[in-house]
Structure 1
Amino acid sequence: MLHFIVDGYNLINKIAEIKNLSLQDKRSYLIFLLEDFGRIMSLNNKISVVFDGREDVISSEVLSKRIEVIFSKGESADLLIKKLVKNSPHPRNILVITEDRAIISCVRSWGANSKKSSEFLKNLKRKLKKKEKKIEDNFKIDAFKAYQITEELRRIWEEKY
């Protein structure tokens, strides 16, 4: 089992397409993105995302069953990430996602692995695109079949309404 520990705001700041969203929407986007990541990874893996702040700053609808969302409350997220790794009985099974050099140095000294947020994001987007393409390929239909389906749906709609 691999445990991914994500430095939440650090990764958010690497996602260019959400830079104009509100902070809450950025957090929501990240959690949904990590949900997608969780679906393409082994079910045995664990994903935790750590944010600075209190729990009440995120909508309960966004909270995920698959993603552990941790708020640092009175301490910094950086310190909490370090504690999670230091207190782990199996730090070699941890992959910390961050660009923060101090965190990287610290967690590596305890035997954990790390990956830069920008690299993780690039790999994640590539994997999701590959998965999308695979799904698309499985559901390809030719133009005539698409036309037939459209016409059949139109006929059903007109009969009902």
Structure 2
Amino acid sequence: MIPLVLSTDDDYSSQMLMAAYLKDVNFCRSFVSKANGQEALDYLQNLTKDPSLANWPDIIFLDIKMPVLDGWGFLEGFTDLTQDLQKIPPVVLVSATNTAGDISRAEAHPLVTALIIKPISNTALKKLSSLPELCDYFSQEENSSANPASTTVS
């Protein structure tokens, strides 16, 4: 189980559903939500004041289209923020659409681990839990118990 998820999405309902779902399927222990990329960057910047990074997220779910600062803008700021850090969490883009432009841009970005189409599914979580960056959080038993529900793009 992942200790801490940071989710950035301007849709409050999506945030609440995702938080409940991720906890219900034992994907994460704690869930922090931010409404846009700027709020998320401000939150992370504040966390860097603690050298231990004790409350640093273990994974970031990031919506692409948001007001104030979108997912791509967040990634620019996050790249700068994490230059001197040892612990850089995987970033999973979460989008309602899978345009060719978003897919190619996500695949080209060094901090993006995966692109998932909303709504998030058991299949997507199973795929994420098997990634090298995340597999240590999950036992083999947990990985085999997820029930496939839909496809993902990564």
TM range (shorter): 0.3 to 0.5
Structure showing greater radius of gyration is: 1
TM-score normalized by the length of structure 1: 0.36
TM-score normalized by the length of structure 2: 0.37
Whichever structure has more strand as a proportion of its residues is: 2
